[in-house]
Structure 1
């Protein structure tokens, strides 16, 4: 019964939801020539809604009659009543302009409708300056009327030259005259005349001048830039180069100018080099000279403990300096020493420098070994000096334990392989069996405790413990008596504090009374403390 009720409720809820849903239409199709009016543009269209059309930009109604409205029926538009049609607007033909006319695209009647183009064309003998084309838009033809001017001669150009006579515009029988720039010479007529069909002849050419090749000079020659045939033309550069073994003193460069090469003939002198540079930790094999000839060589050697890195020999070069760069003398490396039996090395200084010339390798034995000989080695010119260290096995000081101690003769700072250590009982203890073994032997770097059979008993310790217990009991009783004495002193101190409080109160009352009465009626305000003080004075006077 309950299940049926639930089913009915769900059915009713679904029915209510269905009723709430209303049929809707999609956005209506307008087409290329028609668009929806602004008030008809919405996000959703329900059953019964209407939509009104108008013409697109550049179009106008084909007829003032015919319905422009459609209605949403259910979820579809009823286009059957839509009779509204649009046609392209016409801009009408443009009038001819001064010295020209228009051609239309597309051709024919379509050439003056919305979207068409009118292109300006000048009459023969004229050229178009501006406003080449106009377009038929919604409001009519755009742009402005074109301008055609009379044809005259386009001004000729002369690379590497300039005009010296005649200014544009160049009309019929106008003349122009040219001249070449410095460094160039003219080929052709320098003057031109504007005729009916243009200039009477082509413009001239300005070709670059040539300075010609320079002769070689004493102990040297020239190289040209740019290379090849252009290296002797106007603007080129001739650079002096001395022969091998000579260097340039002056006039290194000459330039090809309009009048020819500038400058003077270069001067080359024999090359001499100053002494070669000094190097750290090294020097030349031979004593340095004051001056060296071209290609004279110098060979470097390094000091002991250093290795030469680079070219050992340098030569006096064409530049007046020694080349290549001098070598370097770097410390020799002895390399890391291999670990030795039962030990290893530590190096000083640390890091990479620790294996270079002058470094020290110090021997360190492994734990359980001691160094007998050859403690340190040094990195010398020929390598590490000294010999491999020797580490001898040794045992640590033996642990006795179990109430045992070493005998005085067995108590040493070091124990070598084969040494024997003897034990005895600690004070207050005695051997449980005097006949058993009391010794152990150092084997390599470890003690062999398996032979140690000594066991110690604590008979003598009992007497000591008994006496200690009695002494502790006596000290405990002393502590208890001290605590009781402290309690009595604490009570006495509290009584003294209470008495002082009473006396302070009495003294305060007496001071108040003094302020209210005459001096002859002054009350007795002596405190118990004062009275005790007076009694003490009397006793001192009477000697009692």
Structure 2
């Protein structure tokens, strides 16, 4: 009977041992991220475990083993440690090159602004558990070499230590010379001047290539103040006064196409052909028809054709002018400007009086397309040769100017009595009347 009892005791001990192990908890069953490993793998019922976060993370977990299961009593998930702003560097910028926030592991790259260069060896900062590593990079202004010129050249600006964007101006001591190269240079972002330092040379101008034209005197170079003489092909005209100056030709030597501009296209215009065209080449023509109360300038025509000449001028002025009458000078109007002033356009009417010795042909003068009517406004008072008046040897006495007031001595034919020694021209003819009775 002893053997079975011992066997039964062993079985009971083995069962008790297995039940105790059923109450244990395994660390492998904990699945929190970014936590430090725990050395002990098995924990008895009732034991507690504290899990710490790995480097760069903050948080804590406290768990208790209860009948083979982990129960969480404290749970603050592990999150990346946050860093403050990495800091701005003067004259520079930074950008995140790793991560999207200022947290553990994030990296920022510093770059210098245009015209500045980095003097620091390291241009990156990384967010560590203790904060940002490295120091702020330093950006210093780019400098260009000092300027040294010949005695013929004057330089103005920061010639000793030019910084990015600084300009240096050059000019020659002599007014008869010019800079051989750019007269203005600037310090570039690479620390080099934009152009070489110029020298001074005699002022000359190179022979130009003139489309549609050719120089009269063909030379390779022209001295200062030389006048460029050139001719152009038909239909083109040269520019006047092109002179060799300090900075080259005073005007671009070109042959401009000869054109005429039609400036007035609406005022008093009824029709233009070709319609809508205002610039005409030499030899081209335009036809203009004026409205009823207008005519071609300085003519009495309402229609005309105008041609652009080789000199760039119209053969006649292509303008419709309002029909007007001029002040009637030499029309023997008395006190002329008292009656003929102001607007004297077509249809205007003016009352008037004639000078002494002239008859007024109408009470009112009217402006027409043919001028003032009646025409003449004032007719000179004259006496006709007194035929039928029985004057002896008529043309010996009545000749020449027989206007108002003229006097003529005369004799009567045989059988007629002379009424006066002198005949006088009056508004009513010769007096006395009759001359011979």
Given the two structures, how large is their TM-score scaled by the length of structure 2? 0.30
Per the normalisation by structure 1, the TM-score is: 0.25
Q: Structure with the greater relative contact order (CA < 8 A, sep ≥ 6): 1 or 2?
A: 2
Larger radius of gyration: 1
More helix by share: 1
